[in-house]
Amino acid sequence: MPELPEVETTVRGLARYLEGAVLKRVEPRREGLRRPFPADLVQVMTGARVTGMGRRAKYGLIDTDRGQTLVFHLGMSGRWRIEPEELGAHDHLVLETESGHTLALCDPRRFGSVDLVETARLGEWPQFAAMGPEPLGDELTAAHLKAALAGRSAAIKLMLLDQRIVAGLGNIYVCEALFRAGIAPGKAAGKVSGPALARLVPEIRAVIAEAIEAGGSTLRDYAQPDGQLGYFSKRFDVYDREGQPCSQCGAPIMRFAQGGRSTWHCSKCQK
């Protein structure tokens, strides 16, 4: 599943082709993904100039001079193909720029989404309205976490996956950040000390920033938006490493189910 770093990498990759470009052709090749494409997608986007690109949580943003932003989500298996030699059955939306670049949103499992949102009101869009701060933004601070987690008995790991607390943090990065900060994933969120939260915030930033730098993490079904299928290799300390030795103490990494998903941790290093 594409996580925040993959979405950021995708946006940066797309920007090379789309920033400032005029969209000559906008072609939906089916009705939609997890929900229908906007009825006015072709009308609004054809002839529009891309004025900026961005990301909010795991959504990519393509701003246009029509005052509308195309908001995409890659779902479980989405990726953008750059200059595909030929279009395939899973290329569901095709954009062609005036300068002749072709970009195709490919999503075999169709859990992704494409929406048009008024740019000036993006913050009010229901999916964004209740979202917490970006992990790389200045608003994510130990004080924010302290306030948001105060009195909460749910596990710190589950709270960090809650988009209202921090936007766009996925399972991998929560496991890794908690390991680096030495915080047990099952600990009640409200019981995590101020100093521990102060250690956690820079580790959240670091794991995300390192993954972006590596160009996105190694995940099935994900390809870089440069037209080449391939996997980036990123070594994780705990994620998907059950039974392997902890990089700090050598004890075996443990896995348990939390909120229906796996958590990996070192029970010696994380308290």
Residues serving a catalytic function are: 2-3, 58, 261
Do 47 and 98 contact (CB within 8 A), yes or no?
A: no
Residue nearer to Zn ion on the CB measure, 158 or 269: 269
Residue nearer to Zn ion on the CB measure, 220 or 271: 271
Q: How far is the CB of 54 from Zn ion (least distance, A)?
A: 38
Residue nearer to Zn ion on the CB measure, 72 or 179: 179
Backbone CA torsion sign across 196, 202, 206, 209: positive
Q: How far is the CB of 64 from Zn ion (least distance, A)?
A: 49
Residue nearer to Zn ion on the CB measure, 28 or 252: 252
For residue 20, the SS3 value is coil
Other Cβ atoms less than 10 A from the Cβ of 117: the count is: 20
Residue nearest to Zn ion (CB): 246
Do 83 and 101 contact (CB within 8 A), yes or no?
A: yes
Q: How far is the CB of 255 from Zn ion (least distance, A)?
A: 14
Q: How big is the CA angle at 89 (ends 86 and 92), to the nearest 5 degrees?
A: 90
- Residues near Zn ion (CB under 5 A) are 246, 248-249, 251, 266, 268-269
Paired tokens of 119 = 């740019």
Do 23 and 97 contact (CB within 8 A), yes or no?
A: yes
Distance CA 266, CA 260 (A): 19
Residue nearer to Zn ion on the CB measure, 70 or 246: 246
Query: What is the amino acid identity at position 218?
Result: T
Q: How far is the CB of 246 from Zn ion (least distance, A)?
A: 3
Q: How far is the CB of 267 from Zn ion (least distance, A)?
A: 8
Distance CA 74, CA 176 (A): 22
For residue 14, the SS3 value is helix
Residue nearer to Zn ion on the CB measure, 169 or 269: 269
Q: How far is the CB of 247 from Zn ion (least distance, A)?
A: 7
- Could you write out the DSSP letters of every residue in 148-209? HHTT--SBHHHHHH-TTTSTT--HHHHHHHHHHHT--TTSBGGGS-HHHHHHHHHHHHHHHH
Distance CA 85, CA 72 (A): 23
